[in-house]
Amino acid sequence: MKSSKLAVTMIVLATLTFTPKAEAKSLFTNRQVIAQVPNSQTNQNRVNELNQLIQKSKDEEQLGLVTEALETLQKAIQISREIGDFDKEGTILNNMAVSYSILGKYATSIKFYQQALAIRKKNNDIFGEQLTLSNIGGLYTEIGQYNKALEFHQAALAINKQIGNRPTNTTTLADQVLTDIDDLRNSDYEAFILNNIGGTYQKLGQYDKALEFHEQALTKKGKGYEGEATTLNYIGGVYLKQGKYDKALEAYQRALAINKFLGNMEAGGTVLHNIGVVYSTQGKYDKALEFYQASLKLAKKIGDLPGEAVTLYSTGLVYRDLGQYPNAEKTLFSAMKIEESLRVGLIDPDKVSIFETQAATYRALQQVLIIQKKNIEALEVAERGRARALVDLLGLKISENTNNKQDIKPPSFEQIQQIAKAQNATLVEYSVNESNLYIWVIKPTGDFKFKQVALKSLKAPLAELVSKSRLAIGAGGRGIRVDPKEESNHKQNLQELHEILIEPIASVLPTNPEDKVIFIPHNSLFLVPFVALQDKDSKYLIEKHTILTAPAIQVLDLTRQQRQKVTVKDVLVMGNPIMPKVGIPPVQLAPLKGAATEALNIANLFKTKAITGKDATKAAFKQRLSTAKIIHLATHGLLDDADKSIPTAIALAPSGTDDGLLTPAEIIDLKINSELVVLSACDTGRGTITGDGVIGLSRALIIAGAPSMIVSLWSVPDSQTSELMIQFYQQWKKNPDKAVALRNAMLITMKKHPHPINWAAFILIGEAE
């Protein structure tokens, strides 16, 4: 639930702010009568009518009548446009955005905020501009885009400091009070921005810094203002996270008293929920349920979908902890359905980020279902909770290409079985859930197996074990040398991972080494080199199975549809371009002699010409893209560094018009018709790990249309990679199954270069045949 709820944007006049709830309703009724005066022919009467409608919408918002407030604002914006009052149009657009945000219609809210910001900038209304900037920041905090949120908040605070708390572009203070959120002192603006910044730091887990901003905000508020309640609610949240429950309750109760006095139903519902969280954390479940029910009642009454979803989630956790699993299941399902509705219409990055704020609901629901032995239903929820933004984009792309709109819904268990059959592969889906690892195995025959692995007995968290195994292999940095001290440990680490991830299901995996196994990882497991996991007899998993990976089972079905459309025949091979400069200060990347040899040999295999050196530019790549059945890029791969001075990208030759770095954002906008894309470079399978999978080059290629790709999990050695890739294409010419060809290439390379750093980095994602 929103902490601030952006409530300050809808605060009413001071007379209403200090009015008890019953009197507030009476005052609202009187204003309704005033707002119903007949349309006047004079401009002044139209201005008065506009002001009254704006105020009426604020009163409606204050009483939780959000839909009614939007209807009133629609009338108001029509008048503002008719009389050419652009200042008030900016105000109305801003307030409409707030209302849509409360209703959970985030995509619509963003659209109206952008319109409000554009008008306020055009009118030089920097007073209103700072407000809308911070409102946008608050919305981005709500959907999990925390760094983006801070950018908007800081921009708003910079304007606030710049104008020195002086109103601008207004006629009189009275008019400002009546027509916009400017009815507060400018210090209240600053408090609003400070609170939003503090709230974002809370989401980032920086509680001391958050408290610093909230305490600054509290000094800006006069007693009784709604903003004081907002600040107290924020402060209560910090104390809750710090485990200071008495202080949290004190702050929340003060906030609740103010909201009750003001009749502010939305903000009051938020505080009721937060008090419930304190009691739930203390194990006082009856008290927690009492406050959750009160919060839920208010959220439903005003149509606050985000508030309803988070309260249902919290209620579901209480039922789970009380052992009331059917109630928990029902409640968490309801929360999940509402959360899914909140993602509708958002752009891809915002869908990814908001899902990160919702993932806990899917995890809790899986847990409750598994406790009740509903393992198939839990699989459906696990699949429903991954790669949804990617699935939506793929569905849209397929719809555009076929002129047939795809109705993409999460797959049922029967559909999952059909996908396993169509892939002719055993599917293995993982879900890391608090103290347990869930594993589902679906065979091409439709047979199903579920295993649960307790993680509490591990010496270290699973994510740490994955990281240690990579470091032991030598995959931790950008270099290709393996530290001899770590080399002796890699077997132990890989065997530990095998014991956790593979041994529980080993008996149901295929016995024919050429039968395919497709792993669908979760969280840190996306970084696991499954091919290099070792059993107790020191046998690598690739020696026993043909291995692929995918971000979700449903993605396999959609990439299969993309594969069926491949009709082009050319082979595009690019290698060892003149390297671009990266970093601050710019440093030229080192040339790759092995990549040049690799590109020339692969081009010879397909009787084509490799593009190398200064000719291997982005322009050359894009020019040949549409006719390429196979794309092979042998070059440097770059992974985002900590200070963002080096982007995730494929290094191509710079030209007079670009820097030579092919980024995921550029790839997404391309149309790839190829059957296979190979990124023979470092770290091309890595990126930011989210509930939507790995956000990086591989995801961008899937969205652009590639049905399958080979990418790497770490910095790969130049000459050994060249040998592996040449072997892969030689094997693929013998066997049309890409997964079998990659396996054979790894086994051949392994004999000459036994250490996993040399052969285990590459993974095949998507279609095998």
Q: Tell me the per-residue pLDDT of 127-165, one tens digit each, with 9 for 90 and over.
A: 889 889 989 998 998 888 888 888 888 888 888 777 664
- On average, the pLDDT of the chain sits at 84
Strands 708-712 and 676-680: parallel
- Distances from the Cα of 660 to the Cαs of 75, 253, 624, 649, 715, in angstroms? 52, 58, 16, 9, 20
Q: Give the mean model confidence (pLDDT) for residues 372-399.
A: 90
* pLDDT reported for residue 30: 40
pTM above 0.75? yes
* pLDDT reported for residue 612: 92
Token pair belonging to 481: 């040398």
Q: Tell me the per-residue pLDDT of 597-625, one tens digit each, with 9 for 90 and over.
A: 899 999 999 999 999 999 999 999 999 99
Q: What is the spatial distance between Cα 553 and Cα 49, in angstroms, rounded to a whole number?
A: 57
- CB atoms inside a 10 Å sphere around CB 674: 28
Q: Tell me the per-residue pLDDT of 454-481, one tens digit each, with 9 for 90 and over.
A: 998 888 899 899 988 888 787 643 233 3
Token pair belonging to 221: 């508020």
Say yes or no: do domains 283-386 and 563-766 share a fold. no
Residue appearing with tokens 């049309």? 736
Of the CA atoms within 13 Å of residue 186, those in its CB half-sphere come to 17
Q: What is the spatial distance between Cα 623 and Cα 644, in angstroms, rounded to a whole number?
A: 29
Q: Give the mean model confidence (pLDDT) for residues 309-334.
A: 97
Between 245-262 and 226-241, two packed helices, what is the crossing angle to 10 degrees?
160
Q: What is the spatial distance between Cα 77 and Cα 717, in angstroms, rounded to a whole number?
A: 63
What fold characterizes domain 563-766? Answer: Rossmann fold (3.40.50)
Question: Cβ(318)–Cβ(280) under 8 Å?
Answer: yes
* pLDDT reported for residue 729: 94
Instruction: Find the helix or strand (DSSP H, E) in which 520 lies.
Output: strand 516-520
CATH number among 1.25.40.10, 1.10.645.10, 1.10.3720.10, 3.30.70.60, domain 1-125+169-184: 1.25.40.10
- CB atoms inside a 10 Å sphere around CB 301: 14
Q: What is the spatial distance between Cα 444 and Cα 516, in angstroms, rounded to a whole number?
A: 10
Question: Cβ(500)–Cβ(453) under 8 Å?
Answer: yes
Q: What are the φ/ψ torsions at residue 600 (nearest 5 degrees)?
A: -65, -40
* pLDDT reported for residue 186: 53
283-386 has which CATH code?
Answer: 1.25.40.10
**Helices of type H across 63-185:** 66-82, 86-102, 106-122, 126-142, 146-162, 173-179
Strands 436-442 and 448-454: antiparallel
Residue 33 has pLDDT above 60, yes or no: no
Taking the chain, what is the end-to-end CA distance rounded to the nearest angstrom?
46
Minimal CA–CA distance to 724: which of 747, 695, 692, 694?
747
* pLDDT reported for residue 485: 38
- Better pLDDT: 493 or 8: 493
Share of the chain above pLDDT 70, in %: 86
Q: Give the mean model confidence (pLDDT) for residues 295-319.
A: 94
Domain boundaries, given as residue ranges, for the chain: 1-125+169-184, 283-386, 413-555, 563-766
SS3 15: helix
Q: What is the spatial distance between Cα 386 and Cα 248, in angstroms, rounded to a whole number?
A: 34
* pLDDT reported for residue 182: 37
Residue appearing with tokens 């985000």? 306
Burial 481-492 (b: 16+ CB within 10 A, else e): ebeeeeeeebee
Minimal CA–CA distance to 697: which of 659, 746, 744, 647?
647
What fold characterizes domain 413-555? Answer: Nucleotidyltransferase; domain 5 (3.30.420)
Q: Give the mean model confidence (pLDDT) for residues 741-760.
A: 94
Instruction: Identify the band that residue 25 occupies on the pLDDT scale cut at 50, 70 and 90.
Output: very low
Residue appearing with tokens 């007693």? 223
Instruction: Identify the band that residue 687 occupies on the pLDDT scale cut at 50, 70 and 90.
Output: confident
